[in-house]
């Protein structure tokens, strides 16, 4: 799926994912996946596309109940050390914090996330396995 890098497009993405995963995920399992996807895509839009236009490509692979999502974009390059920041993220952030909560939320929602840049594109692979 390709979607414009705009916040008003995130709902279309989650609707697409709901349709694709309906045969393998129950509603309560989908909710955690949806939270993770919304946070991840909102971060892509906010950081990679600040005031730029562009698109985000999203792929989905189902393996039993395991859902692996692949995101790519040609926005601003991810900062150096983003994988390490993600790996060290916790959910010990004040509830009223205006930044710094996103990676912790994403980490709680996905079993594994990989951030990397290849072929001039930001790439993220995120694997969700229901509890």
Tens-place pLDDT, residues 101-122:
789 999 999 999 999 999 999 9
Q: How confident is the model at residue 62 (pLDDT cuts 50, 70, 90)?
A: very high
The per-residue pLDDT for 85 is 92
Cα gap 56→105, rounded to integer Å? 20
Handedness of CA 79, 85, 91, 92 (dihedral sign): negative
pLDDT in the model for residue 48: 95
> Could you report the per-residue pLDDT of 5-50, keeping only the tens digit for each?
999 999 999 999 999 999 999 999 999 999 999 999 999 999 999 8
Give pLDDT, residue 100.
Answer: 62
Instruction: Using pLDDT thresholds of 50, 70 and 90, give the confidence band for residue 97.
Output: low
Measured CA to CA in angstroms, residue 28 lies from 20, 31, 35, 48, 62 at distances of 15, 5, 11, 30, 18
Residue with tokens 């010990």: 92
Output the six-digit token pair for 79: 């900062």
């Amino acid at each position: 799926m390709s979607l414009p890098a705009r916040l008003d497009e995130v709902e279309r993405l989650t609707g697409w994912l709901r349709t694709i995963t309906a045969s393998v995920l129950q509603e309560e399992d989908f909710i955690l996946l949806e939270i993770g996807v919304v946070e991840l895509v909102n971060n892509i839009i906010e950081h990679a596309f600040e005031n730029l236009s562009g698109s985000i490509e999203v792929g989905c692979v189902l393996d039993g109940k395991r859902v692996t999502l692949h995101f790519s974009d040609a926005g601003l390059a991810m900062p150096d050390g983003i994988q390490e920041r993600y790996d060290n993220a916790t959910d010990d952030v004040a509830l009223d914090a205006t930044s710094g909560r996103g990676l912790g939320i994403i980490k709680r929602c996905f079993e594994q996330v990989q951030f990397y840049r290849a072929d001039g594109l930001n790439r993220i692979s995120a694997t969700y396995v229901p509890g």
